[in-house]
Amino acid sequence: MSATIEAAPTTATRFHVGLHVADLTRSVRFYRTLLGTAPAKHFDDYAKFDVAVPPLVLALYPSPQQPGGALNHIGLRFPDSAALVGVQRRLEEAGIATQRQEGVECCYSRQTKFWVTDPDRTLWEIYTLHEDIDHSGFDDPPTPLEQPAQAVWQHRLTDPVPDRIPHKDNSLDEVLLEGTFNALVSPERLAKLLVDAHRVLRPGGKLSIHGLVSDKPFPGTPKLPGLASMVQRVPVETEPLGLLLRAGFGGLFYEKLGDIHCFTVNGVELRELRLHGWKAGTAAPGPCAVVYKGPFEQVSCECGLVFRRAEKVTVSAMVAGWLRSGPAAEQFAFLS
């Protein structure tokens, strides 16, 4: 089967999905009807729909031995190489390996791309399109890279608090404290646990706290309904934050601090909390220059530094590590 080659628009970022199909002709007929447009390319071994609304690239690969619409890969097409490089740099700086291919011929076009595998082994193709060509080229997706298993230690409300976390220094990716702050444990014991968590986390490792907190000191012993009946102590909402800071964690971020309180008991409002902190990540030795990109006019960190939008600030390697590891990393540019 032949087809007229249509130049694909490259002025926008588009979502790209590749599907295995048992019968290419049947699938083209289905998606032509679903999307309301003819395929931009249609060959015996490949078809592609390039849709403006919604902004989608849908590629179909005839695979009679793997029917049922099984996912081939997912992709994002960017308008130019600069945007592509920016995404790849962001992934690599976060320690996520990519596989780059320059000017390859595949899918009846010439592309520059990189491949990356998510934690569940879903293959992503991130690419920019240079030109259409009249032959398919050859570009099998690479074998998905094995992602190292995450090393995680978790403590739950019902577990005894150990004197020492049973792991080596700098060996864990994440420590999860699930209800730990609601156990009948003193702040001093919790402080010791957090210092030990900092010890076992690798540079850039994450500490997560989930539990129930109050807006002011809770009088007496809580007697709460349902699953919350296991709660033996309710800290004030600022207590976990302070203990994390003193244990050396940075980039502190409240993923959740309930806008609506769960309970009101004895005049005290109780809320669900999810708080994250990071051990300083690996950074280049010595000071590092950073630029805050926005969206606010300025922000500050616990160490007292103020970052004004678009102004260069020189920070220590430790602060740079916190910024790289935390949830606001994309709001900063790290300059060599």
- Reported as a single tens digit per residue, the pLDDT across 225-276 is 665 677 889 999 899 999 999 999 988 888 888 665 566 777 888 888 889 9
**What number of residues does the chain have?**
336
As assigned by CATH, the class of the 288-335 domain is alpha beta
The CATH code of the domain at 14-132 is 3.10.180.10
Dist. CA 330–CA 292, nearest whole Å: 9
pLDDT at 132: 63
Per-residue tokens: 98? 């990519």
Domain segments of the chain as ranges: 14-132, 152-278, 288-335
Predicted model pTM: 0.52
Return contacts of 27-35, CB within 8 angstroms, 24+ apart.
27/60, 28/60, 31/58, 31/60
Query: What is the structure's pLDDT at 71?
Result: 67
Q: What is the pLDDT of residue 240?
A: 94
What is 152-278's CATH number, 3.40.30.10, 3.90.650.10, 3.40.50.150, 1.10.10.10? 3.40.50.150
Using CA atoms, how far residue 171 sits from 150, 174, 204, 209, 326, in Å, is 10, 9, 11, 19, 19
63, two tokens = 């695979």
For residues 113 and 127, the answer to whether their CB atoms sit within 8 Å is yes
Radius of gyration of the chain (CA): 26
Pairing of strands 99-106, 312-315: unpaired
3-class secondary structure, 16: strand
- Convert the pLDDT of each residue in 54-72 to its tens digit: 688 888 877 665 444 456 6
